[in-house]
Structure 1
């Protein structure tokens, strides 16, 4: 979902937040009851704050307090926060065209409301930290993390299995060598079995490693 942020320095961020939200709230109630135009102008909409003609009253939703606000339009959604020294906006939409329409509408209104302070709305992409937080919950990231955990657990299991097999066979070999009744060839057979176990575990570990690399690729 495309998004953009704007940080507008001002000594009165709460005032502009409330003014912007009230303006859209009033437009939502009165879009269908505009006064008759005088000399070709719509007296209910000052220059610079015209609403798109296709926008219906029920398509404007606004909620706000003195420090936070949320504006929802058909093209997207904007959250507003009044910081100590700036009004912070975050706009998001389903596509780039909707995002641009939302950005232009908000910028036009704030530029008019703050013309004495010469407010300027400069949109930019969200900070990398915010994008990383959004991507952290994406299906691709989750799948990659799950795959990495599975590979780690598989390697840990193979390692533990190898250690246990070697320990058991070494213990058996020690017991055989310490018993005088066992002949030399029997002791050699046990030692050979230990070596074969080590080779088998090593081979298994390599196969698991190769399979994990193919799946990761």
Structure 2
């Protein structure tokens, strides 16, 4: 499975996990608490983990095309949720 990771510098990681997971829970299988989240899309899974100074994102997708699409979806939604903060989502792909 193609995998991607991103580390987003922010002190609001827990808040973003909460907002993203609540947004997606109406349509997708979602589990989350204050420090971590898991969102199951049709074509992959996104894991989110908050640390004091960063939000860690990890994606596993069924194929490279799905990974690219999920990277875009997660990044766009995170930027929207973080409207008061300039966040930069730079994905690093693990192609093993």
Q: Following the alignment from structure 1 to structure 2, what is the Cα–Cα distance between the partners of residues 62 and 119? A: 23
Q: Which residue is 1:145 aligned to?
A: none
- What's the offset of the Cα at 1:116? 1.6
> Unpaired segments of 5 or more residues in structure 1?
29-59, 132-217
The structure 1 segments of at least 4 consecutive aligned residues displaced by more than 3 Å after TM superposition are none
Q: Which residue is 2:32 aligned to?
A: 64
Q: How does 1:62-101 map to 2 (within 5 A)?
A: 62-101=30-69
How many residue pairs match? The answer is: 95
- What's the offset of the Cα at 1:115? 2.3
Q: Which residue is 1:23 aligned to?
A: 23
TM score, norm. by length of structure 1: 0.42
Q: Which residue is 1:13 aligned to?
A: 13
Q: Match for 2:77 among 109, 113, 119?
A: 109
Q: Following the alignment from structure 2 to structure 1, what is the Cα–Cα distance between the partners of residues 47 and 78? A: 14
Task: Give the conservation status (yes or no) of the 8 Å contact 1:70–1:77.
Answer: yes
CA RMSD across the alignment:
1.2
Task: Give the conservation status (yes or no) of the 8 Å contact 1:2–1:95.
Answer: yes
Task: Give the conservation status (yes or no) of the 8 Å contact 1:75–1:101.
Answer: no
Q: Which has the higher strand share?
A: 2
Q: Which residue is 1:211 aligned to?
A: none
TM score, norm. by length of structure 2: 0.93
1:19-68 Cα distance to aligned partner (Å, 9 max, x none): 10000013x1xxxxxxxxxxxxxxxxxxxxxxxxxxxxxxx110001001
Q: Match for 2:87 among 95, 110, 119?
A: 119
